[in-house]
Amino acid sequence: MKFVKAMLAVGLGAAIAASAMTSVQAKELTIGFSQIGAESEWRTANTNDVKAAAERHGVNLKFSDAQQKQENQIKAIRTFIAQKVDLIGFVPIVATGWDNILREAKRAKIPVLVMDRDLTVSDPNLYVAKIGTDSVTEGKKAFNWIDEYCTKNNIKPRNGGDKINIVILEGTVGSSAATGRGTGFNEALAASPNKDKYNILASQTGDFTRQKGQEVMESFLKNYRNDIDVLFAHNDDMALGAIQSIEAAGLKPAKDIVIVSVDAVKGIFQAMIEGKANATIECNPLQGELFFETAKKIVNGEAVPKSVFVEEGVFPAETAKEVFPTRKY
């Protein structure tokens, strides 16, 4: 009889524990999320994916758009703390300036999960983990594609000189995406056996927007029209703006000037199909699923990797027509 009672007690205990676990998992999580803004096709796809994934996961999402201002992100995170959310997620618009607000979140015992861009903090324990993209590798892939293309097609400087001149449209100053892509590009250039063939003629931020990409490329063309052989744009939106300036200057994009950018959004696939861009390096914005899976693990007290990268490919123009229908963003 004693054995039966013992088994019943164990069974009852297990049932209580299971219902407690279920209640923790079933409790609707409230997550505060601070997004940078809506500066590019990529960002819009990232936002849409986060919102769709929150819906799928039954999460109560408090979403804030910072309109490209770090101070708005800091205000939003402070509001999430006051609202006692279960977890805070954010995309750091720039890499630095987060220590104080993350200390406030830590004091409030609210875990922080970073998405997309990297951040530099005095104590890595100020955030639990980062889900995102590897911008240094994206930069390396961009240069290596340009180097392979120029070598295979025997691209010669348009001005008859001995250097293939490259102009660069950089992303948001201080963002890990811009810093990383610049670092990766320069490291791959320095490591190339053909490095003496290339010259970085000009490099300036277009802040990841189409408008600024068009304006900065216009100024490059005014100053260096027939000296420019290659454009590397840190994102597709700036490349699309630059293409408009190149055409307005009476030059043929992708022919007179080789064009490579990063993101792989639908707009650049359309440009490649029209023969106006040469390649795009994928930077995957569809991080929502991994974000909320990881968020639930963190709230449930499970250990998670400090940094997880999403899968990313490279798409040259000749693949654009076939790949375009499969693109999700």
Contact residues for ligand GZL, defined by CB under 6 A: 39-40, 42-43, 116-117, 133, 177, 208, 235, 237, 262-263, 283
What is the spatial distance between Cα 98 and Cα 120, in angstroms, rounded to a whole number? 8
Q: Which is nearer to ligand GZL, 98 or 164 (CB)?
A: 98
For residues 57 and 130, which CB has a smaller minimum distance to ligand GZL in the complex?
130
- Whichever of 110 and 233 has its CB closer to ligand GZL, that residue is 233
Smallest separation, CB 289 to ligand GZL (Å): 17
Q: Is 49 helix (H, G, I), strand (E, B) or coil?
A: helix
Q: Residue 9: CB partners within 8 Å, gap ≥ 6?
A: none
Secondary structure (3-state) at 265 = coil
**Residue 29 token pair:** 């999580």
Q: Are 323 and 269 in contact (CB under 8 A)?
A: yes
In whole angstroms, the minimum distance from the beta carbon of 279 to ligand GZL comes to: 15
Q: Which of 263, 211, 212 is nearest to 235 (CA)?
A: 263
Residue 193 CB, shortest distance to ligand GZL, in Å, is 29
Cβ nearer to ligand GZL, comparing 117 with 296: 117
At a CB cut-off of 8 Å and minimum separation 6, what does 74 contact? 97, 98, 101
What is the nearest approach in angstroms of ligand GZL to the Cβ of residue 171?
6
Residue whose CB is less far from ligand GZL, 85 or 94: 94
* CB half-sphere exposure, 253, CA atoms < 13 A: 29
Taking the complex as a whole, the smallest distance from the CB of residue 292 to ligand GZL amounts, in Å, to: 18
